[in-house]
Structure 1
């Protein structure tokens, strides 16, 4: 019986660890996709602006780029908080993970910059471009 309980606990720990890795991957891959989309919008914007004839279309692209940045900020905010919940569960359940986190007692600055900084910078860029054109 004790072996079954231990096997079940190990399986639960493995699922929790896999869940945390999955959420981490979602957080970073979502931001990568966002950056690619923003880059394509920026290229399209500059192409339209360089032609000189499509100022209205360039402004529309800037407005959509801003909406995309704000949407990304909202989605990243929710994903970041969910990831933190799963990470805290893993911290309390998995001793090796807790020990590693204890030795790295720093704030998740990089994660915060990726979650909030990148969408905020993109939003500032698009607002600035809307005012310039």
Structure 2
């Protein structure tokens, strides 16, 4: 569900970037409005992802506590390094927010 929701926000962000780049050449004010809308949308994406990550982490912990096979499987398949889900939940919206701030600054 995190990935599906992330895809939805990523598509919305992409459409806003296309709208921004299309309008930028003709109307600076409209481009700034689009960029100003993109920034709060990014924070909504970050908030929704954070809430869902906390929920799914809690469910995984409870499942691992109740089902030893699940805990063993998770431990056996865990790879060293940063997990992908927090990167998707936090890094992508953070990069999008930087993009919107830069676009607001240059328009």
Same fold (TM over 0.5): yes
CA distance in 2: counterparts of 1:80 and 1:108, whole angstroms: 15
RMSD after superposition: 1.3
Task: Using the TM superposition, give the Cα deviation of residue 95 of structure 1 relative to its aligned residue in structure 2, in angstroms.
Answer: 2.1
How does 1:21-40 map onto structure 2 within 5 Å? 26-40=1-15
Are 2:71 and 1:71 equivalent residues in the alignment? Answer: no
CA deviations on 1:51-104 (whole Å, 9 max, x unpaired) are x22110010000101110011111111111011000111111122211111112
Residue matched to 1:82: 55
Which runs of 5 or more residues in structure 1 are unaligned? 1-25
1:125 paired with 2:60, answer no
Q: Which has the larger radius of gyration?
A: 1
- Kindly indicate whether structure 1 or structure 2 has the higher relative contact order, using CA contacts under 8 Å at least 6 residues apart: 2
What TM-score, normalized to structure 1? 0.75
Q: Which runs of 4+ in 1 moved over 3 A?
A: 105-108
Length, aligned pairs only: 106
Which residue is equivalent to 2:85? Answer: 111
Q: Which runs of 5+ in 2 are unaligned?
A: none
